[in-house]
Chain A
Amino acid sequence: NAGVTQTPKFRVLKTGQSMTLLCAQDMNHEYMYWYRQDPGMGLRLIHYSVGEGTTAKGEVPDGYNVSRLKKQNFLLGLESAAPSQTSVYFCASTGGDRGLGQPQHFGDGTRLSIL
């Protein structure tokens, strides 16, 4: 039962470097989400997707880009990493009617440090 798988699990970057975080789900879910979790704060939505080929901005989208080329994959990109993007990043997915009333299922996160 893989569920939601995130890679890599840990990464250290220097300011200005770029990288892509990968999220893969095997539950045939339409809806996928990227969150960041910082100490003392709740999970905050970065971007989300309601289906293959579609993406939308969440609460804190600046500095990030996303792509959903395949239904099972959702990529989060940092074009020019900044120390403020040091965080733990979680991917989630859900199904059902527009995801309404359905729980989101989470991966185990990517711990990203920007030096």
Chain B
Amino acid sequence: EDQVTQSPEALRLQEGESSSLNCSYTVSGLRGLFWYRQDPGKGPEFLFTLYSAGEEKEKERLKATLTKKESFLHITAPKPEDSATYLCAVQAQGRGSTLGRLYFGRGTQLTVWP
């Protein structure tokens, strides 16, 4: 059973066309939700951590928000260099063998064309 679902799988935007990526999750007790950016041939690069519903984080053209069921990554006036795959991961309260484990979604592949 998927615990983290990202949508859409792929998104094409024209430069300057704002949009949002979605990450919905089902875990019993959220300890943290993480957003990563992954460029082709590279490892995931950490962007944000969100801990509780209502929290927001911003970095340049990216803004991440969190509710009790989902998170959004808003991209304002994107540029071609924002093209990448964006990954969402959640960490549950858990215990024992699951303590600290991250559960990743499959990612949203974003392409921004000039």
Total A-B pairs in contact (CB under 8 Å)?
A: 61
The answer to whether A99 touches B42 (Cβ under 8 A) is no
| Choice from A42, A56, A102 contacting B104 with Cβ under 8 Å | A42
**A106 shortest CB reach to chain B, Å:** 4
Given A58-B101, A98-B100, A101-B32, also A106-B87 (CB < 8 A)? no
Interface size class for chain B?
20 to 34
* B69 interface residue (CB < 8 Å to A): no
Nearest to B45 among chain A residues (CB) is A106
| Choice from A4, A43, A92, A102 contacting B87 with Cβ under 8 Å | A43
The answer to whether A108 touches B43 (Cβ under 8 A) is yes
**A66 shortest CB reach to chain B, Å:** 15
Name the interface residues of A62-105: CB closer than 8 Å to any CB of B. Answer: 90, 92, 94, 98-105
List 20 additional A-B contacts (Cβ < 8 Å) besides A42-B105, A43-B104: A41-B106, A42-B103, A42-B106, A42-B107, A43-B44, A45-B102, A48-B101, A90-B43, A92-B43, A99-B100, A100-B31, A100-B91, A100-B100, A101-B31, A101-B32, A101-B51, A103-B49, A104-B102, A107-B43, A109-B43
Question: Which 6 A-B residue pairings sit nearest by Cβ, starting from the closest?
Answer: A106-B43, A42-B104, A99-B100, A43-B104, A103-B46, A101-B32
